[in-house]
Structure formats: C-alpha cells, structure tokens
Chains A and B, each alone.
Chain A
C-alpha cells in the first residue's frame, strides 16, 4: 500500500495555494504510507523542486515548507515499503530525467529483468527500488521520442505487476494503471484543476470539489497543461 496525490492547475489564481493543497492531500494519505514521503513541485519559469525523506508525511511537508510552496503542478507520495529498504534514496518521487517525475503504488514482478536490460543499455540507477525501474524505462522511451502516452503504453507492455503510476512532465499529467487495477486511483476534474489521489478522502478539501467530475481512471490517461 502507498498513497499518491497529484494536482495540475489550470487556473493560475490557485498557484499560490498549490503547496497548501498538496500538503493537505498528502497528509490525508499518510495512513497508506507511514514510512516515508516525497513531494515534487513544478513552478514557473521551469523549476522542479523535489523533496523526500523518511518519516510521516505531515512532518516532511512541514520540514520542507511545502504548505508555503507556489507552483502550477505538484506530485506527492506516501510510502509503505514492500520491495526495498526504507531510506531517502528509495523514496518517491523518482526523477529519471529532467522534468519527469514518477510515483508508484504497487509492485513490479519483473523489475530485476528490466533493470538488467536497462543497465546493459547504459542506464544508471540510484536504488534497487522496483518503481525506479519503471521510471527509468519511461524516461528511456521519452528520450527515444515517444510522447508520454506512448511511453506509458510501452511501459505497460513491458513491465509486469500491479501499479497505479502518476507521471508528470513540465507540460503533462498522466495516470497509468495495470488492467487488474487493484491499486486505487480517483480523479477530480474541474475547470480550475485536475487532481488525482489514491482515495477520495484526499481530494475532499480541494476548492469546489463537490462540483468536480469524479471518476476512477483505468488504463492510461493523460492531460496536457
């Protein structure tokens, strides 16, 4: 079990609240991932700030002043480790290439095989985390010219396991799930933002969420900012 929260803003008026909204979402998911947490904030003109650490989501958000952060897109993750150690290096988000963030809830069963293939292609790794393999694979596909949707579909065809992935670039926000879809995901979509979380509870404080289109995504969904 892990928790995922993501927020892509369409309304610039919300940008000064991004950090506060994301911190609230992430803290609501701390029961899904009590051992570590991480946050990535995209802000103008082209900045990506990633912070992650071992500990409770609320403490980590406070430690890194996330509630006061401005930005137009944010990603958060609370981790309950199942595949590898609880260290800062094993925390999400993974940033496998400039501007690309990947967070994952689930487990990949063929990550060791894919990691060996990627290492043979000269790809380096920071950890033995299975999620990092998916992140590196997606980044490799993007570097070969795939758009994000195609890269995620290629990942789905290559990586075996259970996953809900939230993948962001400076201009895109994407959710990918395996066909069994046992790792949760809920989307709330309004004219002002697209939000994704593992559970609706994490979306409950977003502005005018009662009027949002709320649904469960399956397969690969992408939004362009």
Chain B
C-alpha cells in the first residue's frame, strides 16, 4: 500500500506518482484538504482512496482507476469519466459525472445541482437526494436517484435514462415519465446490487426519459418553443 500525503506534495506531484503506479496497486491520498484535481487523467487500473474531503474534478477523465473518497467532493467529481469507479462516501457538489462517457460514479450522500449534466454513457448512482437540473441534456447512460429529485429533472434530455426512487419536484422541458418495463426493473435491481443500495425498491422507481420533441424539430411543434 502506497501513501501520498497531500499536505507535503503538490497536486502535480501526486498525479504524477499515481500515473507511475503499476496496475493492481493500492494507494491512499491522505490529508487532501479539499485540494482540486486529485487523481485526474489516470489510465492505470489502480485502487485509490482519498482519505478526506476533496475539491473540484476529483477522478476526472479517469480511464481505469477505482477511487473511493472518504468525504465530500466539490464540483465535477468524475467529470468526463471513461471507465472505472468513483465512490464518494459523503455528499457531492455540482455537476457530478458531467459528460461521463463510461464508468460509474456512486454518491452515498446527496448530489447538488446538475448531476449527470451532458452524461454520455456513464452511470451515476446517488443514494440520497439530487438537486435541480439533474440529468440536464444527458445524452446516454443511466442516472439512479435513491432519494428525491429537485426541479427541472432531465431538462432537455436526450437518450439517457433516469430512475428516481423518491419524489420528483418537477420535470424539465421535454422530460417525461415513462412506463417501467421488466427490463428496467432488472436493470435497477442489478445496479442497486452493484453499488450496494439496499433502500430502493426496483419495482417502485419512476422512470424519466426524453419526450423527443425538442431535438426532433417539426413545424407542428413550433408552439412548444
């Protein structure tokens, strides 16, 4: 087990050391003190624990590592994630998993606004509540919300799927509730098992998808704009 002390190393030194580790390595970053850009842009299959609260873009652009954050993260945790797992034990600030192409971001607390914005194929699982504009313009992938969703859920949604276990304050433009199929129930069940969420009843979630009126423009819909 390697330990990197953020109190003694610069962010660039930490990320360089992480990049040099062989696949299968385990490393702990201690005393992160809300530092931004920790463990970004890594392509090796290593296991990283950030032991405390992290700043912006933790684990962003990752294509391999599995990361656990023992605390809160700032904006954009797992932004542009390509593969791998990021598990946040606390709550997260805005734009979690923004534009994530693959991999999975697991939030054990709550997520603030715009979680899953422009999601491009990744998976975002939030145990608690999600703030306003969750799933804004999400193009592909899955968002699971174990608690309640805020305002304008799925605004301008493309082809991502959102499942909500709790209440939805309101839906955004062009988002709609869709009937739950057996495949959906199976997918939610598998995702809950994968991320360890035991408080969600897969048969009782609400599914939200795009009504496809905004991005398939026809003159008959002009009044909707």
Contacts and interface: CB of A to CB of B under 8 A. Distances in A.
Interface of A: 179-182, 184, 186, 199-205, 209-210, 214-216, 218
Interface stretch (B60-68, B89-97, B185-193): B89-97
A200 B151 CA distance: 25
B140 interface: no
Contact of B34 (A182, A204, A218): A204
Contacts of A200: 34, 53-55, 72, 74
* Interface of chain B: mostly helix, strand, loop or mixed: loop
Contacts of A210: 52-53, 71
Given A181-B113, A204-B34, A204-B53, A218 B93 contact: no
Given A179-B151, A201-B34, A218 B55 contact: no
Contacts of B83: none
A216 B96 CA distance: 13
B75 A184 contact: yes
Contact of B35 (A182, A184, A201, A218): A201
Size class of the contact patch on chain B: 20 to 34
A204 B55 CA distance: 11
Interface string B36-79: 10000000000000001111100000000000000110110000
A181 B35 CA distance: 21
Contacts of A202: 34
Contacts of B55: 199-201
B210 interface: no
B132 A214 contact: no
Contacts of A180: 113
A218 B115 CA distance: 14
Given A201-B35, A210-B71, A215-B110, A186 B93 contact: yes
Contact of A216 (B33, B71, B94, B151): B94
Nearest to A204: B33
Contact of A199 (B34, B113, B151): B34
A209 B94 CA distance: 21
A172 to B, nearest CB: 24
Nearest to B95: A182
A202 to B, nearest CB: 8
A202 B34 CA distance: 8
Contacts of A214: 53, 71-72, 90-91
Contacts of A186: 72, 74, 93
Interface string B121-165: 000000000011000000000000000000100000000000000
Given A179-B151, A210-B52, A218 B132 contact: yes
A87 to B, nearest CB: 31
Contacts of A201: 33-36, 55
B99 interface: no
Nearest to A216: B112
Nearest to A210: B52
B72 A181 contact: no
Contacts of B113: 180-181, 218
Nearest to A202: B34
30 contacts: A179-B132, A181-B112, A181-B132, A184-B75, A186-B74, A186-B93, A199-B55, A199-B56, A199-B74, A200-B54, A200-B55, A200-B72, A201-B34, A201-B35, A201-B36, A202-B34, A204-B33, A209-B53, A210-B52, A210-B53, A214-B72, A214-B90, A214-B91, A215-B91, A215-B109, A215-B110, A216-B93, A216-B94, A218-B112, A218-B113
